[in-house]
Amino acid sequence: MTKHGMLRIVQSQLATDLNCTPDDLNGETDSFVFTETQYNPGRRPFPRGERHFEMLTMGGAVIVSATPDILPFIREQLDGKSNDEAFNMPFVHGQGICYIPDIDIIKPLATPENIEIVIVAQPDISKLYVHKGFSYAIWYEPHIRPETLVAVAYCDGIAAGMAGASDDCEMMWQIGIDVLPEFRNRGIAAALANRLAIEILKHGKVPYYATAPRNIGSQRVAHRAGFIPAWACVYKGRFDDVLTLSTCG
């Protein structure tokens, strides 16, 4: 997979999710594209409430997708605003930074001392559910985004950390990581993310990793594992109070 090919896959998927076109994502900085939320075939199946709002940028235009009841209010509030101002509006709640591998530089990291990393695939992933404390990496109950691969870090036979790949959509698998507290700060999280990302790429899928802007530790893991930021997003909003400021409420 090439860097260009990976970006095309990501742009196509994000366009499906937000009901826009891939070209919209490349629009001019500080421009906005407003779309109505749609349940397009192939979208990532994240839960959506009756009143839904998403906002996303890959560094160019900001794509704003919302249900019809709140879209006029959002459009009015963002009129004349910059990208930075948009991501700091009062109704914004829940932000993330999403990373993909830097395909030109990613390479296997050295395994931390006294750690063994094992890749587990279906149907054997359910055997990992006996290990508790890894809810960011594996689903302990049936889920609409099941795990496809899990990288497990063992220390003297103990499961110290896991990184799981969830089947979010046809071409993109999301990585979630958990390391038990007593094993942290040893480079295990970065080694797991790196090993799993390389394995996902072998399957012809795009691995991606999401974290909150305030989570510096998680961002460092992404950097060490060979990832680069690809898009920033807002995945929910608060409108019950601010809608009273607009006639659309």
Q: Does pLDDT of 247 surpass 90?
A: no
- Indicate the pTM of the whole model: 0.92
> How does DSSP assign 131-177, residue by residue?
S-S-TTT--SS--SS-EEEEEEEEETTEEEEEEEEEE-SSSEEEEEE
| pLDDT in the model for residue 243 | 58
Which one, of 101, 199, 216, lies nearest residue 147 by Cα?
199
d(CA 132, CA 93): 30
Burial zone of 150 (CB within 10 Å; 0-12 exposed, 13-18 middle, 19+ buried): buried
Share of the chain above pLDDT 90, in %: 89
All structural domains of the chain with their residue ranges: 3-98+233-245, 116-225
CATH class of 116-225: alpha beta
The percent of residues above 70 in pLDDT, for the chain, comes to 96
- DSSP SS3 for 221: helix
CA dihedral 221, 223, 225, 228 (to 10 degrees): 130
